[in-house]
Copies of this chain bind each other. A is one copy, B any other.
Amino acid sequence: MNTNPRLTIGTLSERTEVNIETIRYYERIGILPTPPRSAGGHRLYAKEHTQRLVFIRRSRQLGFSLDQVRELLGLSSGRRMTCARVKNITEQHIADIRRRVKDLKRLERVLSDLTSQCRGDEMGECPILDALTRP
C-alpha cells in the first residue's frame, strides 16, 4: 500500500491548514512550485510541496513577509542561505516588530487619555471630538 499518495489541493489544504485559494496564489507568485497534474488537469501534490507549504505557513505565522519567506527559501539572491543571513533577516524582523509595538503603545496611551476625559454622555461636548477638531 501507498501511504504517500499524491494529494489533491483540498487534501493538502486540510493537512497544512492553508486555504485552497491561498495555495493557488502561492503557486501563481512562484513561491510554491507548480505540481504535476492529473489527466483532467487537477493538481497533484507530493511530499515536498507539503513541506514547503508548511515552511511558508510557519514563516507567515511568525510575521515574515512573503518577500522574506522567498529569501528564507533561497529563492532570491544567490541560492543557499547561510545561517548568518537567516539570523540577520530574523533580527531585522524583530526590530520591525518592536517598532510597531512602540508605535501602538504610544497610540494606546493617547487614546486612553482621551477616553478617560470623556464621560460618554448622550449629549453635550465630547473631549474626543474636540481633540480631533481643535485648531
Contact = CB atoms under 8 A, between A and B. Distances in A.
Interface of A: 51, 54-55, 58-59, 62-63, 72, 81-84, 86-88, 90-91, 93-94, 97-98, 100-101, 104-105, 107-108, 110-112, 114-115, 118-126, 128-129, 131-133
Contacts of A51: 133
The complex is assembled from copies of this chain, and their number is 2
A122 to B, nearest CB: 5
B82 A122 contact: yes
A58 B132 contact: yes
A122 B83 contact: yes
Contact of A101 (B63, B94, B101, B128): B101
B62 A129 contact: no
A120 B86 CA distance: 8
Nearest to A99: B104
A68 to B, nearest CB: 11
B62 A118 contact: no
Contact of A114 (B90, B112, B115, B121): B90
Nearest to A100: B104
